Structure 1
Amino acid sequence: MQAFRNLKISSKLLLAFLAVLALTTFVGLYAVMRLSQINQASVDIATRWMPSSRMLLTIRATTARYRANELQYLISTSDQDIKAFDAIMSDLWSKIQTNYDNYASFIQTEQERASYDELGRLRSAYAREHAMIMTLARNGRKDEALVLAQGESLELSRRLYDQIDRMVQIDHDAGQEANRHANDLYRSARAWVVGLLAASIALGLALALALARIVARPLIEAVGVAQAVAEGDLTRRIQATTTDETGQLLHALHRMDQSLIHIVRQVRNGTDSIATASSQIASGNNDLSLRTEHQASSLQETAASMEQLTVTVRQNTDNARQANQLAASASTVAQQGGEVVSQVVDTMDAIHASSRKIADIIGVIDAIAFQTNILALNAAVEAARAGEQGRGFAVVAAEVRALARRCADAAKEIKLLIEDSNGKVSTGSALVAQAGQTMQNIVSSVRNVTDIMGEITAASVEQTAGLEQINQAISQMDQVTQQNAALVEQAAAAAQSLQEQAYGLQQAVSVFKLERGMELTALPATPQPMPAPDLARITSAAQSGRWEAH
């Protein structure tokens, strides 16, 4: 059993399937063998017993017809009927002989052979009696022939019929026996096949349960180990009792567990080194803090220059406020000009609409002119055809006059629209003149703004002088500030990174549980870094230009 457990899973599955397949194959072969036997019994019935019975019955029926024609021959007086019955008897006897010979191919047992020989003997005796009867009848001795036919010949025919009936019964009994044999084979085969199928199902279920137990148990144990490792428990024992794939998996999990224990030890030892490095970085930050304080005292010297700059900036602010008021006034004037321009646009739109109407009317006039031309042409054609009787010409002339009237009306409408457009154009001209005056006011306001901006420019010159003094003071400390800022930034980033890594490592390895004797002593708390100098305040003040004098 242990050897089977150590086989590969594929080999186990293969052996199980081969066992089920072998039993299933045996069931199939046994069923095929039994079906072949049943089929052979059915073939015997269909190809031997039934045809032989039919052939015997055919011999009996043909013999009876032969006997009837023989009697008809004896009692007939017409030469034509005698010849006809003679021909019929000859044909029937030929059929009897053929069927008799063919029946020999169905004989297989001694009983059938003896019955067949007895039938042949009776048939020969009957043939001899028939020959004697026919000889007497042909010699004109029909009365004697009839007496012979109703005597010995009748007895032979009855014995012949009885022998055929016995042979038919033999074939019938043999057919029934073959049928019973086929039924017995069927019942036996059914019982065996059902039993073997039940055995196959039982074997398959047993193998399936065994394989499930052999394969599932190690997998369940492997899942439990993996879950324990995921939860940080490294104290679980892993035992592998087989060498198949599941056993190899458990061995691999055992090696993984040992490797994780080793890694956790190393990580916990590494956190001590990280804590030491964090302390050294904190010391460096203290030095940088002192430098930053010294630099802050130098920055205070720039406060006086910034006061001067503040006064100048205030003056510029007042001038900017006045410039803003003038700009607002100029905006109002510009808004008025915009309204005037909007009115001009509306007027131009109305003129445009009138122009479109004029275009439409002109289109109507063009259409009328075209129709007038066609009517005039029709009138000329009609007048040419009518000669002196020009009634059609009169009708055409009336249409021409109507079209001319429409042209006159359209011309009047065009005139009115043109006059209306002229009036609107005059109004637009007046509005444009008003807009020009408004633009002049805007120009005047802009000039005032320009004067104020000149004062702002003068104040900016004074601001520039003050800023130059500030730049001289700031340039002396710029290099030191940049160096210190870079060092402080790097040191702070390094310290923060180390602290985060140390904390992350501590949190990561804290979830793992080791066996007793493997636990390490707890690490000391990570030292808090020294607070860095308030460089943000200094940098912000330098950028905004606002300093406080101390």
Structure 2
Amino acid sequence: VRSQGKPFDVDGLLGSSLADFFPDEKLAEMYRTQLSETRTSQFDAWSRSFKLITSPVLDSDGDYQGRVTQWIDITEELKVEREIDAIVGAAKGGDLSQRIELEGKTGFFVQLAGGINELINTVDQVFSDIGQAMQRLSKGDLTKPISADYAGTFGEVRDNVNSTITNLEKVVVQLNESADVIRTGAGEISAGNNNLSSRTEQQAASLEETASSMEELTSTVRNNADNAQQANQLAASARSTAEHGGEVVSSAVQAMNAINTASSKIAEIIGVIDEIAFQTNLLALNASVEAARAGEQGRGFAVVATEVRNLAGRSATAAKEIKELIQDSVHKVKSGAELVNESGETLEQIVTSVKKVGDIISEIAAASQEQSSGIDQVNLAVTSMDEVTQQNAALAEQTSAAAASMNEKAQQLDSLVRFFKTDATSRHSAAPLPTARAKRIQPVRE
């Protein structure tokens, strides 16, 4: 009190007023006036902090007799409050490293400070565990959940974090399995697409060979038809010449016999041509059936096409022989015309024979026409097969693009999933699948 400039004497303390000792005049004034109710005040003095509780003292009649003041030293309490405020402020700012010093504290303040420190330690440990778990999670490590034993809300937070890690691990495992399935599917699609491309290429090559063979066959049949038409015209000319001839001399008998012999050979050759035409027509029908079936495919059709070419060659040879024989017959007919006046009856027989030859040649021409129609149908079938082949090639190319895209997405997904480390079985490294490329098949041109 003396340090504050106030007079203080222990011997003269009785009868003095507390107002004389307060450094704060406002507080001193409160002690100089009469109180009607309890008042609480606080002041700092002498390096200490005090809380004063002042109550009026009344007698039985309610008259004011004085006051009673309770002095409470709150220096340590305020110090603890400031320390708590500092710790709470730091905690609000995310700093959980500060603690209340226990040294110099007694009683309740020791328990309070220790409890707050323990609370901060627990919160710090919880956030440290969560931070470490999140740090491991950011690095893709899902193998270490929070193992500390917490109760209450802290336990719920730990369980929620661990559940998140567990569920994320399940998702990662499922994603990895899905990536494996996608890679496998992309591989199967790629393999199937390569097989389809190869078969489509083989089919296109077979169609090209078939088209070439059909072109040759068509040319041969047309030549046969032209030859038959020419032979028919020659036969008509021979008949006309015979009808206008005169009598043939007796020496024309031998010439007419030679003509008959040649006509017989012609009939035999025509029979061969007729048989060949029939077989050619049948083979052409078989070829169209084979073309429609076209499996892998074209092998059976190639055999039929070869046989057709052989038969066409025989037809050409027979037609050549027919031409030579007919020319020989015409020569003999010209020779016989000189003797027509002497061989009237024989000449009539020649006319009849020539008519028969014309009928046979007409039948050959009709058969050749039917054969040409059959070949046209085969060409239509080949064209249809070519369109289907091009569609297959387009589908193969689309499938190849889809397989490549699927494989790329699977690799990307696998790369993302590999970032995480789980307790599941270690995944083996999957090499990128080769990208299937559909081969472009050139269309068959007739």
Pairwise TM-score range, normalised by the shorter structure: 0.3 to 0.5
Please state which structure has a larger fraction of its residues in helix: 1
Structure (1 or 2) with the larger CA radius of gyration: 1
Please state which structure has a larger fraction of its residues in strand: 2
